[in-house]
Structure 1
Amino acid sequence: MEIPKVFESEYRFCRILWENEPVKSSDLVRLCQEQLGWKPTTTYTVLRRLGDRGVLKNENTVVRSLVSREQVETAQIDEMVEKTFGGSLPAFVAAFTRSHKLSRAEVDEVQAMIDRFREEEHHD
């Protein structure tokens, strides 16, 4: 299943939805007004747009997501790595580490991910 594209302002909206779902649309309007400074019409427009694209479902004024935060974030990163680095994870990591100093704990965490991947690959 291809994850629908979620743009920046929509992502901020989705974060509120994911933290509160299932949520009544009227409560979502209030939360978006408080946290994003949106007018009710803006929230209802985004609700409709994301519903049309299959990101959420608004049924009987109760809103639920159809895609998870992890799915959306993974799709965004995949798109960025593909578009910016030709799909090369090593090129992405090299660019990232040129401008971000990794702590020893972060290096250990990345190494543990690589080790898990190699272990899973070995068992396939």
Structure 2
Amino acid sequence: MEAKFADLIWQHEPIPSGELVKLCESELNWKKSTTYTMLKRLESKELFSNSKGVVISLLTREDFYAEQSKQFVEETFGGSLPKFLAAFTRSRKLSDSEVDEFLKLINEHKEE
């Protein structure tokens, strides 16, 4: 639910907190108290800020999901990207374009 809530903020920011409450009521069927509880939780994680009644992001969507992915690989595969890719491709073959994209990323981020 945190990710859905965060996506709503990223899509509408900067957003007045009162408008966010209405949006969450219509999109997530939340009460005002639920919205503010979730906002406080994500403020404590330094994802968003509610200053003077306006909610803004402190972290981009891309940076947030990059960090989530990094944590997942760290916790699940001991930080090993090759182990993650081996598990990912165990039940799914990669297309030629996907292989090309991976090779391009590897070359761009290769340690010198």
TM-score by length of 2: 0.89
Look up the match of 2:17.
Answer: 25
Q: Secondary structure at the match of 1:114?
A: helix
RMSD of the TM alignment (CA)? 1.5
Look up the match of 2:107.
Answer: 115
Q: Considering Cα pairs closer than 8 Å and 6+ residues apart, tell me whether 1 or 2 has the greater RCO.
A: 1
TM-score by length of 1: 0.81
* Offset of residue 70 of structure 1: 1.7
Equivalent residue runs for 1:26-65 within 5 Å: 26-65=18-57
Structure 1 gap ranges (5+):
1-8
Q: Provide Cα deviations, 1:53-94, integer angstroms capped at 9, x if missing partner.
A: 322111111000111112211111111111111111100000
1:100 and 1:62 map into 2 onto residues whose CA distance is: 44
Structure 2 gap ranges (5+):
none
Which segments of structure 1 move beyond 6 Å, counting only runs of 4 or more?
none
Does residue 13 of structure 2 align to residue 16 of structure 1? no
2:77 and 2:34 map into 1 onto residues whose CA distance is: 34
Quick one: percent identity of the two aligned structures?
47
